A and B are shown apart, each in its own frame.
Chain A
Amino acid sequence: MNLDKTKLMHLRSHLVSKTSHRSSHKPVFSTLAMLMILLSPWTLVAQDGPIVALVGATVHTVSGDDIGNGTVLVQDGRIIAVGAGIETPDGAEVVDLSGKHLYPGFVLSASALGLTEIGAVRATNDLGEIGDNNADVRAEVAFNADSLLLPETMAGGVLTAHVSMNGGTITGTTAVMRLHGWNWQDMTISTPAGMRLDFPSVSTAGDDEEDAESSSEAIEQLDELIENAEHYAKAKAAGTVDHDPKMEGLLPLLEGEVPLYLFAYNKAQIEKALDWTAEKGLDNLVLFTGQDARYVAERLATENIPVVLTGILSLPWRAWEGYDTPFTTPSVLHEAGVRFAISDSASSFGAMNSRNLPFHAAQAAAFGLPKEIALRSVTLSPAEILGVADHIGSIDVGKEATFFVSNGDPLEIRTSIERVWVQGQEVDLKNRHQYRLYDKYNNRPRPAATSE
């Protein structure tokens, strides 16, 4: 066993992953993890920080089978062992979770958390910068570590969020954030996770001429932006151009180092956007979209384009569509073989609703998506699609100890999320705004019974 490698791993866990991630990332530690389980784990890791042993829960790994009466060992923020019948190391702090269920934290794959506090209060929003090209703007630098929304979101088992801004066409680089930490730097898992592009609206047969014109103009402007960036790259190589941060910001996207996070919604817009990316050779991409993904499922599967569905709990867009169109879209994608994650919208309104993420997945399950796929669509699938599956998304050795414990199926609303860990730190679920108010007023003295 190579201890240096383990230490290196720990070191890495404290660093922000700066490398770009392929969206089809495979967990890199699986072989290592197998080895660690085969050997006696405590001998390996005793030289590092204290070990916490979570014992007795049914462990829902998501990546593999559920483990009844399982044990999860955590050290230095990472999972170092998972399994049934694992001995608890000497000196380990033991957490008895008998009768409970342990799940990887839910991953919100499109979010405005931390960048907005109260939608209607303008001063609390850092969501959209002015200008068409904000390639040089980073979402995470205004991520408010003490946003009141974060603890409430964690109380719902949602422990990671992919945050992005929405100003202009190129809205800026995005980041995958832990929801617990001291500041935005130590909460960042990955940046730049991607470059968000809100594709211009595309005119349809139902539009009037004016709409059609402004739509094609917007696409032309986008074309021009990309051409300018390509030209900038050549001129830069030739040393004949001054530094331009906005152009500079686009280069990693053009070189495929940073994936394109393409936001496009209705069928015509999605198709146009996909044609456009193909034309520009932007093949490292994720499509963030909604219910119309069902109409392009085959193409998405063929072209192996992963999808983030930004909300399942929404109305059909057209009167003649089935009432459950948004609910069944995930199962349509699943059956077509499209890789997808389920999210809520990356809007201010979506932010306050973040804790309800699992119920989007549950609704899909009620309408045909296999339950295990529904669970995966809010845990491991988004981690893979966002390129952070080496950190989070499942209960596997080497991953961050970011999980929650519940008294049942967390896709059921009646189930309670009881305890939460982020990167090995347990989060105090009572130390949050809403719980404090609950506690205060629940204990308000009741009025004396009056006899009338």
Chain B
Amino acid sequence: MSHISNPRRTREAMTRASLVLLSGVLLALPMQAFDPDAWNAEQPEQPGVIVVRGATIWTAADDVSPEDAVLENADLLIRAGVIEAIGQNLQVPSDAVEIDGTGKHVTPGLIDAHSHTAASGGLNEGSNNVTSEVRVADVLNPEDVNLYRQLAGGLTIANVLHGSANAIGGQNAVIKLRWGLEADGLLMQEAPQGIKFALGENPKRSNFRAPEPRYPTTRQGVEKSIREAFEAAIDYRDAHQAHNRALKMGKKNLVPPQRDFQLEALVEIMDGTRLVHAHSYRADEILMLMEVAEDYGFTVATFQHVLEGYKVADELAASGSGASSFSDWWAYKYEVIDAIPHNGAIMWDRDVLVSFNSDSGELARRLNLEAAKAVRWGGVPEVEALKFVTLNPAKQLQIDKWVGSLEPGKHGDFVIWSGHPLSTYSRVEQTWVDGRKYFDRQTDLEARETIAAERQALLQEVRDSGDERAEDAEDTEPDPEDVDRIVDSYHGHPHQESGR
């Protein structure tokens, strides 16, 4: 179904308000900027014209002189959700939304090229070594409150990837963080399709124990299984092409070849219509996959993590593959013992298209500070470092035509910062997606008091209710379906660590 753009909620909001009044809880429930339940969150309006006045604007655009890369005391003009102009003293209609940007910095919305946010039911189809038929887009979970938290860190786009349990994993989904919309509304329709590959310890199951060993158990086996899959895909393509030729020649009543969604995705890779995002660490496996890709006629769109990318930076640059890396993680498993924080800087210096990603619902809230680490370790210029989390991931996902920098014609995705965007002391003040304000720190601070009050009122109402239906909880059967909807109560671990 198509996503419902949202002039809704007014009636619902009124129902809620009247409900609350009826129950004797005197709570005003105004339009809320923050609500921990996406279904209850208001969709922000899209003003006809927005102008941010007098800000320091980091355009993150390519091919501009250093003095034009960061514009002081400049205006940003958005019309109907699209950037119209950046300059000084821009003229706007009288009903335009004006934002005072004095003392503020403005950057493009940040983009995370490796995310697992907003998915339900498991992101690793770990049963088989090739699962190119599974689709993250089928299971997007719009209720993941981390979407909102990441907006509060300036993130506007995430590449939600399948896990790394298999050599060829599932199909990814590029989403815009339109908090409050249902799943289809999150999808960035313009983004090309992609798929996850994985090399090294994870697909060979080095750090996991399964009842039955699963092929492969070596890096050599990983290569072999990828090649085998592509050979099968070639046969599949040939069979369908032969069938189609026969049909064209007027043959009737032919038994058709079977459609296979797994092989179809691999054919799309070879046709260049599906981008490969390959989880990888070591130099050897990066070179291996570049060879395989060459043999089957495609270029790997991004090597993900690619923590030894610095060892093969020249080869990466020559292949045209992007590198989407952690800034400075290392030593959590053996294959990352040679990871270095200069990875991004060395690759950038050797003309690799570099981005920094999060792979973490938490880290995705401060990708600007990850970019700052490219300045710390290796001295990447600040303007270029900012591109590690804006324009460069946009290019890697092939969505830079629409997003990634502040240039006329691109989407109105931008962030207003309290100070220098690479400073640890700066905070996000506003985050806009498609010319809609999805995060505003000021209204957030106000809303959370309302939220807390609502919770206290409901707690009291439960206490007062003497509700006997409590017993019914035991009457319902446990649901065996494996779905990890957000649990908003805390039950244990102080730190969630990732199994990268």
Contact = CB atoms under 8 A, between A and B. Distances in A.
Interface stretch (A15-23, A136-144, A170-178, A359-367): A359-367
Interface residues of B, number: 66
A149 B451 contact: no
B376 A317 contact: no
Nearest to B492: A201
A331 interface: no
Given A310-B494, A318-B489, A412-B423, A353 B334 contact: no
Judged by DSSP, the binding face of A is: loop
B346 A315 contact: no
A345 B494 contact: yes
21 contacts: A118-B332, A119-B331, A121-B334, A148-B331, A204-B489, A207-B491, A310-B494, A313-B362, A319-B486, A323-B148, A323-B152, A323-B444, A371-B425, A413-B369, A413-B376, A414-B382, A414-B423, A434-B339, A434-B340, A434-B341, A434-B342
Nearest to B148: A323
A336 B346 CA distance: 46
Interface stretch (A179-187, A384-392, A442-450): A442-450
Given A320-B452, A366-B426, A434-B341, A349 B332 contact: yes
Contact of B424 (A149, A322, A411): A411
Contacts of B290: none
A20 B448 CA distance: 45
Contact of A414 (B37, B350, B372): B372
B134 interface: no
B404 to A, nearest CB: 22
A322 B33 CA distance: 12
A415 B420 CA distance: 14
B332 A447 contact: no
Q: Which 4 A-B pairs have the closest CB atoms?
A: A319-B488, A362-B424, A120-B333, A317-B490
A166 B399 CA distance: 46
Interface of A: 117-121, 148-149, 201, 204, 206-207, 211, 265-266, 290, 310-311, 313-324, 345, 347-353, 355-356, 359, 362-363, 365-367, 371, 411-416, 434, 437-438, 441-442, 444, 446-447
Interface string B369-387: 1001101101000100000
A117 B331 contact: yes
Nearest to B37: A319
B496 interface: yes
A120 B455 CA distance: 41
B366 interface: yes
A338 B113 CA distance: 40
B495 A447 contact: no
Contacts of B334: 118, 120-121
B382 A314 contact: no
A320 B490 CA distance: 12
B492 A322 contact: no
A340 to B, nearest CB: 16
Contacts of A319: 36-37, 145, 486, 488
A315 B496 contact: yes
Given A120-B334, A438-B342, A265 B494 contact: yes
A392 B444 CA distance: 41
B492 A359 contact: no
A441 B495 contact: no
B314 A447 contact: yes
Given A414-B382, A441-B313, A120 B497 contact: no
Contacts of B445: 322
A154 B350 CA distance: 28
B167 to A, nearest CB: 19
A201 B424 CA distance: 34
A437 B382 CA distance: 24
Interface in B23-68: 34, 36-37
B350 A446 contact: yes
B214 interface: no
Given A414-B376, A438-B340, A318 B427 contact: no
Nearest to A361: B424
A148 B207 CA distance: 21
A401 to B, nearest CB: 25
Nearest to A117: B331
Contacts of B452: 320
Contacts of A416: 376
Nearest to B473: A208
Name, among A119, A207, A320, A362, the residue most crowded by chain B CB atoms within 10 Å (CB to CB): A320
Nearest to A442: B346
A75 to B, nearest CB: 33
Nearest to A263: B494
Contacts of B363: 313
